[in-house]
A = this chain, B = another copy of it.
Amino acid sequence: LNSLRAASTMRVRWALEEAGLPYRVRTVTPEERETAAYRREQPFGQMPVLHDGAVSVFESGAILLYLGERHPAVLPVDPAARTQATMWMFAALNTVEQHVTNLAELLIFHAGEAWARERRPALEAMALRRLGEVDAQLEERDYLAGPFSAADILMTTVLRPLDRIGLVDGFSRLAAYKARCMARPAFARALADYTAQYAPARAA
């Protein structure tokens, strides 16, 4: 599931680029993620972990909240606007991502298996329902919660595993929204840096 999990590190890179913060990336090998030392930092052995001075933060949602509380480019300062954005952060991660991930995992990793043929219609129906509900919200706005925010970083990266399946294309507002978010210079910088970092490993 590496290709789906990569979404989490892209989220943090993207948020750091939006905030204009300098950062260094240290890659963690699968072996290191199983060590007791890494587990003390990240109980589930996942990536990424943010280090900011003496502070260490895991879970991409919590990292974006942490950055957003310090940088208005990631989350608005006004409390009402920030509440709107956090609602959509949790919606992206908790209401949409599970269904998108379940379907993407089935289609990408298990397409030929018998259980997948039987289960696919239900998972597809649920994912399409959620995509339609987000699409409906975008009728009169460019971003989920007023100005661009961490909510849009999360929703865009939640949708990206569906690229290979073309599922978002059926929702015109959602597809336009995703393209709008990915057209941001901060996303381009994060993606270029991410791609460059993993290019040697891919070539090897």
Residues of A within 8 A of B (CB): 39, 43-46, 55, 57-62, 65-66, 80, 83, 86-87, 89-91, 93-95, 97-98, 101-102, 113-116, 118-119, 130, 133-134, 136-137
Contact = CB atoms under 8 A, between A and B. Distances in A.
Q: Which of A66, A89, A113, A119 has the most CB of B within 10 A?
A: A119
B102 A83 contact: no
Contact of A119 (B39, B62, B119): B119
A147 to B, nearest CB: 18
Nearest to A137: B43
Given A43-B133, A98-B101, A59 B91 contact: yes
Q: Which residue, of A89, A93, A102, A136, has the highest number of chain B Cβ atoms within 10 A?
A: A93
Interface centre among A45, A55, A62, by most chain B C-beta atoms within 10 angstroms, is A62
A83 B43 CA distance: 15
A46 to B, nearest CB: 7
